[in-house]
Amino acid sequence: MLDPDRLLAGLNEAQRQAVTTVDGPVLVLAGPGSGKTRVLTHRVAYIVGVVGVPAWHLMAVTFTNKAAKEMKERLGQLIGPAALDQLTIGTFHAICARLLRREAQALPFDDRFVIFDTDDQVKAVKQALADLNLDEKTYRPQSVLGAISTAKNELIRAEDYQAANYWHEVAGRVYRRYQAILRANNALDFDDLLLETALLLKEDEALAARYRARYGFLMVDEFQDTNTAQYAMLRSLAAAELADAPHNLCAVGDEDQSIYRWRGADYRNIMRLRKDFPGIRVILLEQNYRSSQTILDAARSVIDVNAHRTKKSLWSELGEGDKITVFEAYDEQEEAAYVVREIERRVGAGARYGDCAVMYRTNAQSRVLEDAFVRARIPYQLVGGTRFYERREVRDVLAYLRFVHNPRDEIALGRIINVPPRAIGPKALSALAARAKVAGLSAWEALCDLAAGSTPDALLPPAAQLDSRGRTALVRFQQLMEEAIVGRDLLPVDQLLDQVLDLSGYARWLKDGTEEGEERWENVQELRGLALEYHHLPPQEGLTAMLEGAALTADTDTLATGVADRVTLLTLHAAKGLEYPVVFMPGLEERVLPHSRSIDDPEALAEERRLFYVGITRAMRKLYLVHTFRRTLYGSSELADPSRFLKDLPAASLEQRSKSLGQVAGSRSAAGRSTTTTWAPSRPVSSTGRPSTSAPPAAGSAPQTRHGAGGPRPAAPALAAQFRGGDRVRHSHFGAGVVVSSLVKDGDEEVTVAFVGGAGVKKLMQRFAKLEKV
DNA sequence: AACTAGCATTTTTTT
DNA sequence: AATGCTAGTT
């Protein structure tokens, strides 16, 4: 038993309410940094340790493995390892997978089902399209998959799929075919895990009653990220329909941090919850324990633009704090250099690398940053990026294991049958497929049949006949896999992996002596290291557990916090739930944040804003918002507009760190790159449109001009007239009297201009000409 | 069957 | 920019 006073000590009133209100449903609206995880863990501890409910009655659901892990760690300290072991804590997907395996006898797949990831899904859709003779250009696998996923998230089965138009009518056909392929492969995709669980609980009342009896207390983290399927599942478990049920559901969430709309999340589930559980207690957590008031003010004025939300007023006792720095760099290289410079400066002043994080919209942005960190020898850790489990060699090896585990997995088979090259080409494969079809066998069964030689070729249609070379190659493959499958029931996973690598020749093939081969082999070794963790389990179980872990684990989960003193580089999505004293957000430009794909959809745009909000609220003490003048996107470099979100920041919270025009910027390279500036609209502008004398392209100078694209040289007065208040001008100083500037007009053209004055004009112009060639 | 070059396409976020 | 895909070559 826990001492309630000690448990509740240090919690504020609202938190205390959230922890101790254990009879009936509770909705906790928790602003960023308001101690949400603390509330969740203490609530569990309270229910178990103070109320005295057996731990196995509790289920705590999270979205990420990371969150689940963190909760476990914190709970271990509160309630001890014994009680912790009895709790059900995990991600939606993991909990569903476990439930479905247990209840598989009631379902159209068996408990050895595999989980198809995105790549497998694409392959299955392509297969479905091929089966239906559909063109991949008109019905792009990604799009069709998107439609299928949306349907599944809305709990719509293939047979219930309603088509709104012809394209969707076809998509529906693909959906049905795709589902048939999954069934044949004994596979479920991510969405199936949720859909099957939700529908099972909805349709099998006896089963649902069983689970309700088992899990009397439900806790859900990040509730705003639930989709329809997840919501339905929770609704069944919490017995929304049964008036006399205890409804001990505790949902914790924040609609302002809903950033997974694209995968079906619907923050309106918060409203739904209030409707479905009329007596629900709503508790607001508004005190922030993380950030300075300046940061909170900025966050608030950004998020208040979004409509349809419960406005929260975040406040903090941590004081005003530093201003937010907004900086405009020339391009992404300079942006990265700036981040590096500031980090070095802060570290020089006593900060730790580990205090700093760089948060960006897309993983693609990490490269330039990484380069800069490497060059500056700043230790960093990258979260996400090319995910470990997505590397080709890792997927190949996993495919071998998957196939050994479940020979019906034809996606895995397709992946490995000719890797390493075994002279099994398209011809042999189509013949094999034909043989399977004729005999009504799976591909693997057809292979076995072929190896046994029980069906004479003469009896088969021509498409299914094999020449001796193809036959030999296929039979050889069948034999080696047969041998590997024998090992499945005898060897622990790590040894099974060794055996498969050896038998298949994959290890030998991969180690081809090149540097790349070496790197890939290292990844395989890392996978082997993971397999070792399942060594203690009985062979079958170990293999299942390992494959499930591989399917349901993202690299974000491997984020080592506080392990080493390193700067963390991560996407805004990955940053949710984290906090750092110093946060940099680069790429605050239109088409990056908000992302180009969200710009013309108001709902998507609102989500981009929430993403920005999430980024801001990660910062404890210092926030840097960085944008560039020019950015390379999708391979082409274009002028960038500052993100519209920057306009919503309160001026009083900001500190502009771009040099004003006329100041000499430290040019650090031959290219003369330095800072950019914004002409304040308030700057006096003469009636001709020319800036007044205080403005630089100025006084007594004889402007020499040059258009970026080699266009005509406007005459000096004409050019000067092009400068207007509000124009963004970037400039560098190369020496006495010469200012090289870049000027944007109408946001679509960068004009490079040289203003020359004073002595040594000729010499300087030569130098300028040379620079222009670079 | 395996390899190559040239082509096109495509780029968000994650379980 | 980087990747995947197709078609053509060895």
The arithmetic mean of pLDDT across residues A595-619, rounded, is 91
Residue A456, pLDDT score: 82
Residue A584, pLDDT score: 96
Pairwise CA distance, residues A55 & A88, whole Å: 8
Residue A749, pLDDT score: 63
Closest nucleotide to A607: CA versus each C1':
B13
The arithmetic mean of pLDDT across residues A461-468, rounded, is 84
Distance from residue A500 (CA) to nucleotide C9 (C1'), in Å? 34
Closest nucleotide to A261: CA versus each C1':
B13
> Chain B positions under 7 Å from a protein CB?
1-3, 10-15
Distance from residue A597 (CA) to nucleotide B10 (C1'), in Å? 13
Distance from residue A451 (CA) to nucleotide B6 (C1'), in Å? 40
Distance from residue A636 (CA) to nucleotide B7 (C1'), in Å? 19
Residue that has been written with the tokens 């049905």 in this structure = A176
Instruction: Give A381-415 pLDDT, tens digit per residue.
Output: 888 766 677 778 888 888 899 999 989 888 888 88
Distance from residue A587 (CA) to nucleotide C7 (C1'), in Å? 40
At A179, the pLDDT band (50, 70, 90 cuts) reads very high
**pLDDT surpasses 50 at A106:** yes
At A486, the pLDDT band (50, 70, 90 cuts) reads very high
Window 581-640 of chain A: CB closer than 7 A to strand C: 632, 634-635
A603 touches strand B (CB under 7 A): no
What amino acid occupies position A61? V
A166 touches strand C (CB under 7 A): no
Residue A563, pLDDT score: 60
Distance from residue A421 (CA) to nucleotide C9 (C1'), in Å? 19
The arithmetic mean of pLDDT across residues A73-81, rounded, is 91
**pLDDT surpasses 70 at A684:** no
Closest nucleotide to A143: CA versus each C1':
B10
Closest nucleotide to A364: CA versus each C1':
B11
| CB-based contacts of A59, cutoff 8 Å, min separation 6 | A87, A88, A89, A95, A215, A217, A218, A219, A237
A137 touches strand C (CB under 7 A): no
A700 touches strand B (CB under 7 A): no
| CB-based contacts of A32, cutoff 8 Å, min separation 6 | A254, A256, A257, A288, A290, A291, A299, A314, A614, A617, A618
Distance from residue A424 (CA) to nucleotide C8 (C1'), in Å? 20
Window 201-260 of chain A: CB closer than 7 A to strand B: 259-260
Residue A387, pLDDT score: 67
Share of chain A above pLDDT 90, in %: 43
Residue A773, pLDDT score: 35
Residue A748, pLDDT score: 61
What is the spatial order of strands in the sheet that A749-756 belongs to? A676-678, A728-735, A738-745, A749-756, A702-706
What are the residue numbers of the active site of A?
A: 36-37, 221-222, 257, 618
Pairwise CA distance, residues A617 & A583, whole Å: 9
A64 touches strand B (CB under 7 A): yes
Closest nucleotide to A572: CA versus each C1':
B13
Contact A390, A370 (CB under 8 A): no
Average per-residue pLDDT for chain A: 82
Closest nucleotide to A637: CA versus each C1':
C1
Paired sense of beta strands A702-706 and A749-756, if any: antiparallel
Measure Cα distances from A559 to A66, A498, A524, A568 in Å: 8, 28, 20, 9
Distance from residue A711 (CA) to nucleotide B2 (C1'), in Å? 50
Window 148-207 of chain A: CB closer than 7 A to strand B: 190-191
Instruction: Give A618-672 pLDDT, tens digit per residue.
Output: 999 999 999 988 888 877 777 888 899 999 999 888 887 754 332 223 322 223 3
At A674, the pLDDT band (50, 70, 90 cuts) reads very low
A425 touches strand B (CB under 7 A): yes
Output helix, strand, coil percentages for chain A, rounded to the nearest 5. 50, 15, 35
Instruction: Give A6-53 pLDDT, tens digit per residue.
Output: 899 989 999 999 999 998 899 999 999 999 999 999 999 999 999 999
At A465, the pLDDT band (50, 70, 90 cuts) reads confident
At A687, the pLDDT band (50, 70, 90 cuts) reads very low
| CB-based contacts of A85, cutoff 8 Å, min separation 6 | A55
In this structure, what DSSP letter does residue A318 have? Answer: S
Instruction: Give A724-770 pLDDT, tens digit per residue.
Output: 555 666 545 444 444 556 666 555 666 665 554 444 445 544 544 44
Residue that has been written with the tokens 């050889």 in this structure = A476
Pairwise CA distance, residues A124 & A147, whole Å: 14
Residue A32, pLDDT score: 94
Instruction: Give A209-246 pLDDT, tens digit per residue.
Output: 999 999 999 999 999 999 999 999 999 999 877 777 77
A426 touches strand B (CB under 7 A): yes
